A and B are shown apart, each in its own frame.
Chain A
Amino acid sequence: MMRMIATASAVLLISLGVFAQEGQLDALRGQVPLLEERTPEPLYDAENDDRRRSRAYPMQPPTIPHKIDNYQVDLNANRCMSCHSRQRVGETQAPMISVTHYMDRDGNFLAELSPRRYFCDQCHVPQTDAPLAVENRFVDIAEILRQRRETQE
């Protein structure tokens, strides 16, 4: 019995190893053997044109169309909110954070940004011009609906 388990796990491990070698993406090291040093990828520029991207689905947190290098978001200060908070948008003309950010998890409205929404870049991220690491096969729901309408006709 023990031998069987040992053999089975050995086969599993080897096959996993084979899979890992074949085309599996390792974002940190790529396909470079452990003992070799990898030439790091260049850093890509963050999009900074202030043009809003459309959202892939209605609930998607909007991406950040500008650089956020060295923006301080911590216990002491929230750089994002110095433009995007309700009180500041009049002056800065930045889009206001959505109303859900002023709600607690029971849907009650708060006077200030809800603590659970405080760390902006948990959901909102800037974009770079880096080539895609994997092929993106996401299909917009509107596209699916359109195709279905066409097949029904």
Chain B
Amino acid sequence: MIKRIKNLLSVFWRVFNSPSGYFSLGFLTVGGFIGGVLFWGGFNTAMEATNTEQFCISCHEMRANVYEEIQPTIHFTNRSGVRAVCSDCHVPHDWTDKIARKMQASKEVWGKIFGTINTREKFLDHRLEMASREWRRFEANDSLECRNCHDEDAMDLTRQSSRAAEAHRRGLIDGDDTCITCHKGIAHELPDMAGVEGWE
């Protein structure tokens, strides 16, 4: 069995390693270039398609739970009409980080296929686990997704309420808190917070 696989691999390697006997160098380079462009474009287009709100709420798990919950919040309904969609907060914007996150998301496809959260009850049972994972991610990357829009260097503390300005100065600027340390549950409802640090 192993010998046969070895044979097959060596045949493949011989073909792969020998110069082309039929195709011109021009065809191979230009064709390779065009093929590469098509592949790369197609890959990124497909990945962008998985980054849309339409894609996320095509599953009822997202549409009936988290999407319902974000609608009354400031990130969905506000005076200025700027809206953060799912991927703005849950997928990094940088390419390498995005690919890493997309690879992690294959676990979520698994969950979809096997119906891990396909009822409201199951969703609520897993809510703390899922939320904690997001909080850990935000803490590890210093709330990178928040900072795509909310930059502390760009914050005018004098325009904030005194309470907010004081908390930002103490925690964010002087301390080593990050956005998610305090701003949990701003876009979705919180799970049972018993035992979560800061929510005693």
Q: Residues of A at under 8 Å CB distance from B?
A: 48-50, 66-67, 69-70, 72, 75-79, 81-82, 85, 87-88, 92-93, 112
Contact = CB atoms under 8 A, between A and B. Distances in A.
B191 A66 contact: no
A85 B200 contact: yes
Contacts of B190: 72, 76-77
Contacts of B182: 82
Interface size bucket, B side? Answer: 10 to 19
Contact of A70 (B73, B167, B191, B200): B73
Interface in B156-174: 161-163, 166-167
Given A72-B185, A76-B189, A77-B185, A88 B200 contact: yes
A81 B200 CA distance: 8
Chain A binding surface SS class: loop
A50 B193 contact: no
B129 interface: no
A112 B199 CA distance: 12
B21 interface: no
Given A50-B162, A66-B163, A85-B200, A77 B193 contact: yes
A70 B72 contact: yes
Would you call the interface of chain B mostly helix, strand, loop, or mixed?
A: loop
Contacts of A79: 185
Given A72-B185, A77-B199, 11 more contacts: A50-B161, A50-B163, A69-B74, A70-B72, A72-B189, A75-B192, A76-B191, A77-B190, A77-B191, A77-B193, A78-B199
A66 B160 CA distance: 12
Contacts of A75: 192
A78 B194 CA distance: 10
B198 interface: yes
A70 B199 contact: no
A49 B163 CA distance: 8
A48 B185 contact: no
Contacts of A92: 167
A17 B191 CA distance: 50
Identify which of A66, A79, A81, A82 gathers the most chain B CB atoms within 10 Å of its CB.
A82
